[in-house]
Structures are given as structure tokens and as C-alpha cells.
Amino acid sequence: MFVTYLRRELAGRRKQTAIVAIGMALAIALVIIVNAVSSGVQLAQSTVLASVYGVGTDITVSQTPAAPTEGEAGAGGPANFDFGADAGATADGTTTVSQSRLSVDRGTTAFDATALDTVGGIDNVSAAAATLSLSNTTFDGALPDFSAGTPQTGDDAAGGTPPSGGPDGAGGSSFSVDSFTVLGLDPAAEAVGPLSAVSLTDGRSLETTDAGTNVAVLDADYATTAELVVGDTVAIADTDFTVVGLVTASSADAATASNVYIPLDVAQTLSGLTDQVTDIYVQAASSTDIEQIQADVETALPEATVQTQSDLASSVSGSLSSAADLVKNLGLWLSLIVLAAAFLIAILFTISGVTRRTREFGTLKAIGWSNGRIVRQVAGESLVQGLIGGVGGIAVGLAGILVINLAAPTLTAGAATADPASAMGGPGGSAGGFGQAMVEATTSDIVLQVPVTLSVILIAVGLAVLGGLLAGAIGGWRASRLSPSEALRSIA
């Protein structure tokens, strides 16, 4: 009887059923889309962050540069290239000089590597790895051979010889400054850190046996630009490194953390930063441990800057960040408002239906139907209306997600990372203010892909059931309060 009555009621009152179901469907579709887009945006953020910080990194530990004391040179000061009188090689009246300098990125401070042991000893830290983030800046110059003894003033009227030598043969000079990022990392620490987020495209990655050797792994894009392949050599701090592998970001949309990866100990030696690191990447045993680890690290290393993934997510900028804000603010509130409106519509229609069916429920009570049976009937009808809305909402929501994925909107994302250009001390390099964050967002384009997850579907079904039950409970409660005599008297 329950099913027959329910079926007849829903079919017999199609208009009401359709209005309630459509309202619920729209609200649930909106919730599905907002949730899915939110997941997509989070996924995109994770992709951007993973490319910089590595997969599975829950916490990063670094140190903010301190303002120098009076008379002390700032760490971010201009890079100097000093050449002695006999520097360079001279041929055909031209002296060529070249010098590489490997130094800590601007805005980055190296700190004692013992911090890694400190962090590694904290409870619930499952893995930790340290890196040394550096910039290799190479100065190349070609200038006339001044040692030839002939003044090359270019003053013909004084009777001197015309200027000669130099790259243009007329006494001119040419200089170039090239810079790329170098990341020194422990080849044995594969589980966490920047190299955990890359894919090998050629050769091999760094291995434990590479410690102390001059081998390098290159970002594939950088290798293409620099025309380098596996087996070639790359000069870092005037030292030749053999290229053993090429890597690329796991996501085609993201960039890797550095142009060149070399063993940590070699990087420390070449940069003169023995037993120094710039970043520590920490993996927590469980996501619930992150807050505790963050607090413990901050206590153990008071000078350190400790950032969790959620802190890092805020460093993602660009239209991806705008999309995240939009979803978080407007999308969330919009879906809540529409959901509340849909629930309200369902409740009002159910109450209105109960009022309209006063005679019906009075009659049923008169022939012996209990309050419970009537409440179940009303609640059942509302529940099915909600479920119809839920199914419709899932269909509309999935269609919306499909449209978004087909449209594949491209979002620009920037993740805060060391800026190689700013590390250049020469002309064109940015000035280094004390304590000023010398980081900038390296941008990459992310195609937003909105995932369909089981949890989104379950949320939709849950909302449909909740909406139906809520409307049914209120409508049923109202129906149960009808006194049969009053119900029948009101009709009479």
C-alpha cells in the first residue's frame, strides 16, 4: 500500500513533484559542480606545489634572511667578478675572460645542516631531506688586449694608431651574464624533496653513489634551451659536470624546481657553504601530525620559517588563485544559499501539500491509519522527491563537469620560488633589499581538470536524502498533529 500510494501521489501531483525535484536538482548540481571545481583547483594547486616542493612534502623548513648589522654586507648584495691583470686568454688582440660564481639564491639564507638531524628527530616525521638552493652566474667577456702597450684612445688626431683588437676588431668590448638555478640535494633521499616530483625523460636520476662526484641531472626544458643532452658537460662554478639524466615535471602543466640538480656535498663545496643547507623538506607520518610537527620544528628551530602545504597553497598566485578564491567564497556561499532555498521550497511544498490534503489525512485517520503510518507516507513521498532531485542533480552536475572539462579553462599559476634572475648581481639583476623576500612566482599554465569523485556523488545523494527527510519530517509532523475530528470538521 505504501509504495502504491507513494507512486500514485507523485504521479498524480506531477507539478509539485517536478518543482521540488527541479529545485533540489539545481541545488545539488551546483553543490556537485562547486565541490568538483574546488577539487580541481586544489589538484592544480597541488600539481604546482609538488613541482616545486616535491610529492609528499608536508612541511618545508627554511630561514628568512636577517637584516645585516651595521657595516655588514648584505647577503643579497651584488655578485662581484674580480679578474686579475693576467686573467683570461689573449688571441688576435682580444682578451677573453670568464668566471662562474655559485651562490645562494637571493632571498634565501643558508643555515647549518645539523637542522636536518634536529627535524629528523622530531616525533612523527617519516622522512626529511635537505637541499641547497643556489644560482650559478657566469660572466663572459671579450675585450681588447690592453697588454699590447699601444694606447687605443681612438684619437686619430693625436697621431696614435687606430684602435684595434676586441670582439669587433675596433677596440670594442662584449660582455654577457648567464644564470641558471642549481639545487644541491642528497641523492640518497629519494622519498621526499624536489626530485620526488619529477619524471625521468632520459638517462638516470641521481643515485647514492653519486655523492662527491661531479654529475648533474638537468631539467629537460633547460637542457633543450642550453642545447645539452645526456653525456654532455655543463660548467658549474668553473667545474665541469657530466649530465647523467634529464627530468621533467610529472605534470605537463608545471615546471620543475630547478634547472640543474647536483649532489648536495658537491654543491656545498663549490659554493663554499660547507655543512650548510637552505631548505628542509619534511614528510609527516600522518596528515594529522602536521600541526604537531610544525609546532615542534618552530620550537626546536626558532629562527626557521616553517610552512605547511596549506601555507604553501597560499603562495600559489595567478588566475588559479583567483579561481580558488572564487570557488571558496562565491561558490561555497552560492551553493549553500541555493541548497537552503531548495530545502525551503521542498519543506514549503510539503507543508502546503499536507494542508491541501487535510481531508485526505483526516479520512485516513478516521479509517484507522496511525500517525506513524501517515508520517512515513509523507516522509516517503518527500524522500523520493528528494532522490529524484538528487538523480537529476547528479546528471546535471556531471554534465556541468563534462562541459568544464571539455572547455578546459587554462589558469595561470605562480608558485613562490627562488628567482634565478634576481640572483644575478650584475646589470639587470634586481636589487637586494635586506630581509626583502627575494622570491617571485614562476608561472605556468594549468588546464583545469575537474575530477568526479565518489565522495561528490555521495554528498549529492546525502543532500538529496537530507532534503527529502527534512521536508518529510516537517510535513509528516504537521500531518500527525492533525486531529481527525478537526480535519473532517474543517472540511465540513
Partner 1 sequence: MYELTNVTKKYDQGKRSVTALNKVTLSIPDGQMVAIQGPTGGGKSTLLQMLGALDRPTEGTIELGSADLSKLGQGPLGEIRAREIGFVFQGFNLIPTLTAQENVETALAPLGVPTAERISRAAAALDSVGLGERGSHLPAELSGGQQQRVAIARALVKEPTVLLADEPTGNLDEQTRDEIMDLLEGLWRAKGLTLIVVTHDSAVAKRAQRRLLIKQGVVKDLG
Q: Which residues bind partner 1 (CB under 8 A)?
A: 1, 4-5, 8-9, 11-13, 359-360, 362-371, 373, 483-485, 488-489, 491-492
Calpha distance 67→64 (Å, rounded): 9
Q: Which of 214, 140, 133 is nearest to 180 (CA)?
A: 133
CB of 5 vs partner 1, minimal distance in Å: 7
CB of 373 vs partner 1, minimal distance in Å: 7
Calpha distance 319→322 (Å, rounded): 5
CB nearer partner 1, residue 2 or residue 333? 2
CB of 19 vs partner 1, minimal distance in Å: 17
Cβ atoms 474, 347 nearer than 8 A: yes
Q: Which of 186, 125, 66, 182 is nearest to 418 (CA)?
A: 182
Measure Cα distances from 162 to 141, 146, 341 in Å.
Answer: 22, 14, 88
CB nearer partner 1, residue 367 or residue 454? 367
DSSP one-letter code for 158: G
CB nearer partner 1, residue 305 or residue 371? 371
CB nearer partner 1, residue 365 or residue 478? 365
Cβ atoms 422, 436 nearer than 8 A: no
- Measured at the CA of 285, the angle between CA 281 and CA 291, to 5 degrees, comes to 75
CB atoms < 10 A from the CB of 12, how many? 9
Cβ contacts of 60 within 8 Å, gap of 6 or more: 53, 279, 280, 281, 282, 306, 307, 312
CB nearer partner 1, residue 131 or residue 377? 377
**Which residues sit opposite 104 in a β-bridge?**
134
CB nearer partner 1, residue 370 or residue 453? 370
CB atoms < 10 A from the CB of 463, how many? 23
CB of 385 vs partner 1, minimal distance in Å: 14
Cβ atoms 265, 274 nearer than 8 A: no
CB nearer partner 1, residue 83 or residue 369? 369
Calpha distance 179→386 (Å, rounded): 62
CB of 9 vs partner 1, minimal distance in Å: 5
CB nearer partner 1, residue 241 or residue 349? 349
The set of cell numbers assigned to 302 is 626558532
Q: Report the SS3 class of residue 136.
A: strand
CB nearer partner 1, residue 68 or residue 484? 484
CB of 342 vs partner 1, minimal distance in Å: 24
Cβ atoms 128, 114 nearer than 8 A: no
CB nearer partner 1, residue 11 or residue 89? 11
CB nearer partner 1, residue 328 or residue 489? 489
Cβ contacts of 363 within 8 Å, gap of 6 or more: 487, 488
Cβ atoms 43, 365 nearer than 8 A: no
CB of 490 vs partner 1, minimal distance in Å: 12
CB of 15 vs partner 1, minimal distance in Å: 13
Q: Sign of the CA dihedral 180, 181, 186, 189? A: negative
Q: Report the SS3 class of residue 181.
A: strand
| Burial profile 129-159: b = 16 or more Cβ within 10 angstroms, e = fewer | bbbbbbbbbbbebbbbbeeeeeebeeeeeee
CB of 489 vs partner 1, minimal distance in Å: 7
CB nearer partner 1, residue 359 or residue 449? 359
CB nearer partner 1, residue 395 or residue 488? 488
Going through 194-343 in order, the beta strands assigned E by DSSP cover 198-203, 215-219, 233-236, 239-249, 260-263, 276-277, 279-284, 304-308
CB of 370 vs partner 1, minimal distance in Å: 5
Give the orientation angle of helix 371-407 with respect to helix 332-356, to 10 degrees. 150
CB of 360 vs partner 1, minimal distance in Å: 6
CB of 381 vs partner 1, minimal distance in Å: 11
CB of 355 vs partner 1, minimal distance in Å: 15
